Amino acid sequence: MAVPCISSAGRTSTPSSMRPVLSPRSITARPSTSSFATLNSLPPRKHRITVTLDAPIPVGASTVARWVRDAAAIVRLPSGRITVTSVPPSISRQMNRRYRRRDRPTNVLSFRYDPPVDGCIGELIICPAVIRAEAGRRVVAWTKFLLQHGSIHLLGLDHQSDAEQRRWSRYEQRFAS
């Protein structure tokens, strides 16, 4: 079985094993081409987005799926499934400590599957409590930004070098347009 890779730290691990045992609400968005892809003349890509809400977020699961699908098309992620899971701070902290060696909850973690596992190209783990604390009144916009940010990490990119930062900035500009 392939092992997922956390882009921001470059270490391999299996994030699904850290999931809490809860009865999540979830939605699966059907594969479709992105409206952003059409607007920006990108080749259509098909992404199936599965959203699992283990912690409450300020928007619906279908909105999260649309944001991630659109971001995946803009950054030209390969076709496949992407899972998005919202978790409470305790789980975020546990995962951040395990995969990034930082003992605190974080807003978003990106796990890239290379090669894909059963059609899944990656996972985004978000912590709404951290996002709310960081965002103040702009929680919806900050949530969208972090999901887009995490989608760029699913490409295997980081933003450490000047060249990566320039490429990263180009993607963020496309998200804003």
Q: Can you give the CATH number for the domain in which 74 is found?
A: 3.40.390.30
| Greatest mean pLDDT among 4-8, 45-49, 87-91, 135-139 | 87-91
Q: 164: pLDDT confidence band, cut at 50, 70 and 90?
A: confident
Task: Write the single-letter amino acid at 73.
Answer: A
For the chain, what is the mean pLDDT?
A: 78
Expressed in percent and rounded to 5, the helix, strand and coil fractions of the chain are 40, 25, 35
Q: 26: pLDDT confidence band, cut at 50, 70 and 90?
A: very low
Helix (H, G, I), strand (E, B) or coil at 50: strand
Taking the C-alpha atoms of 69, 72, 78 and 84 in order, what is their torsion angle to the nearest 10 degrees? -60
Q: What angle do CA 117, 110, 164 make, to 5 degrees?
A: 110
Mention every residue, 6+ apart, whose C-beta is less than 8 A from residue 160.
none
Predicted local confidence at residue 170, as pLDDT: 84
Instruction: Name the residue range of residue 54's domain.
Output: 4-176
Predicted local confidence at residue 169, as pLDDT: 83
Task: Name the phi and psi angles at 73, rounded to 5.
Answer: -70, -40
Predicted local confidence at residue 27, as pLDDT: 36
Helix (H, G, I), strand (E, B) or coil at 128: helix
Task: Write the single-letter amino acid at 115.
Answer: P
Half-sphere exposure of 111 (CA within 13 A, CB side): 28
Per-residue tokens: 130: 């951290």
| Residue 76, pLDDT above cutoff 50 | yes
Q: CA separation (Å) from 7 to 35, 36, 53, 110?
A: 27, 25, 23, 6
Predicted local confidence at residue 3, as pLDDT: 33
**% of residues, the chain, pLDDT over 70:** 74
Q: Please state the rounded mean pLDDT for residues 28-49.
A: 47
As for how many domains the chain has, the answer is: 1
| Residue 38, pLDDT above cutoff 70 | no
